[in-house]
Structure 1
């Protein structure tokens, strides 16, 4: 892998995501994107992705409460999502921004992800609520290097570069892999392998989050409806309908 910080993280290091009451448990129930961006400050995130400042939240509890207030203001039918960005460091002491999109799809948006990763690295994982779809995206200098939902079906400019690490983590790039493996935990371990940042309950609970409002992706023109979907590899699929007014 290209200039990857040393990490020996495994899925077992993230077993807490299914049991510990935490911000991550909330995210799994509501849907989320989580993005780690190297050498980017939390206050830079809104400008890079086109979000509007919302306020600051001291700790995960305040962020969850802010998300509830946000949904209430939107009558539970939001046309935007709430981001929380906090400053974290990797094992080598390098600065990263941890960006949480509550209920949103930031990690699936090529434009914002390219902007976040310009001149640096960004790694994202995503889950929707309800019937789960889970995606992983690795960007380097604005370029999508590797993306997948199922590890055996990968996209990006270097879809096979992570294969060795995928095998080490039990995410078989050639087949079904271990059915007993918690693939979400393994994806968090993969993210740590690429970033050197270990996400823990304590980190999420104690962080100070700069909150901002991220609108849905704009629709060009005013004579149609555009529905944003993703295929099994995490690539965007756009279904567009037009009508006469």
Structure 2
């Protein structure tokens, strides 16, 4: 697979100082919402937010959208960094999670398979796990594309997502997807 850098100016511009988690789970949105402890019937349709401050408080809704065989979750907080949660969400399937807080230049990335973290990167700690053999070639290609080694959320994590899910997360894809928004129980959040 030949990876190509993404234009993330829309994300690094509008969301530059905001915290966000993008989580990809190979399951239906209804299954994902249930695993999060929510009720699908309580989730209402709405667009991907143009304004990152629209949902910026704890307890604000999470958005879920179907993208092919995957459910994309947008959380305006650190949902994608809760290891217990992502392990549970990944049981019986694959999960990929990326989270960032641009104002502090922090980012997190996880790849889970059937309840096991296969690869992790976290904040200032860097690699939380060893790079598995399945990602070595991809990581080398990403290093060639980004020789200055920027933070993962500035491009590399999106290429890892594309490699692991087949989803190229673009502004058009997210803003043209049909989202449903709802609140999940506070105990679910890290």
Same fold (TM over 0.5): yes
In the aligned structure 2, how far is the partner of 1:134 from the partner of 1:152? 10
Q: Which residue of 1 aligns with 2:84?
A: 111
In the aligned structure 2, how far is the partner of 1:137 from the partner of 1:197? 16
Q: Which residue of 1 aligns with 2:45?
A: 56
- Please say if 1:133 is aligned against 2:103: no
Q: 1:97 aligns with which of 71, 93, 97?
A: 71
- Please say if 1:179 is aligned against 2:167: no
> Which one has a bigger Cα radius of gyration?
1
State the 1:96 CA deviation.
0.6
In the aligned structure 1, how far is the partner of 2:52 from the partner of 2:102? 19
SS at match of 1:170: helix
Q: Which residue of 2 aligns with 1:160?
A: 132
Q: Structure 1 regions of 5+ residues with no counterpart?
A: 1-6, 72-77, 90-94, 220-227, 229-245
In the aligned structure 2, how far is the partner of 1:79 from the partner of 1:180? 32
Q: Structure 2 regions of 5+ residues with no counterpart?
A: none
Q: Deviations over 1:12-52 (max 9, x none)?
A: 2x1x212x3x6x754443210001111x1122222111245
Higher strand fraction (1 or 2): 1
**Could you tell me the TM-score, scaled by structure 1's length?**
0.65
In the aligned structure 1, how far is the partner of 2:52 from the partner of 2:122? 30
- Please say if 1:210 is aligned against 2:183: no
**Could you tell me the TM-score, scaled by structure 2's length?**
0.81
State the 1:187 CA deviation.
1.2
Q: Is the 8 A contact 2:15 2:52 kept in 1?
A: no
Q: 1:41 aligns with which of 15, 22, 28?
A: 28
